[in-house]
Amino acid sequence: MSKTRTKDEALKAVRSKAKTVSRFMNSPIGAKVIKMLEMEFPVDFGKDPHDTYRKLGNREPIEYLKQLQRIGETEDQDETT
């Protein structure tokens, strides 16, 4: 059974994930992985609305990683100032 988190606990968990993802994505191999995923799941229209939404859904993990990367970079900047 999952434990209900407080807002502070949830923010701490997101920040921790974000720092890890940011460090990975800013490495040479991380950049290659994202480029590879973007090529595998390009943003384009499908042959019908259902196909278009499926393709957009395939991109969600990539966008999630990019969001975590931005959060992690912001956290890293806050720690250095």
pLDDT above 70 for 81: no
Confidence bin at 60 (pLDDT 50/70/90): very high
Residue range 7-17, pLDDT digits in tens: 999 999 999 99
- pTM of the shown model: 0.74
Spatial CA neighbour of 60 closest among 72, 43, 76: 43
Cite the beta strand spans of the chain per DSSP E. none
Residue with tokens 């799941």, as numbered in its chain: 41
| Domain edges within the chain | 8-80
Residue range 19-56, pLDDT digits in tens: 999 999 999 999 999 999 999 988 788 899 999 898 88
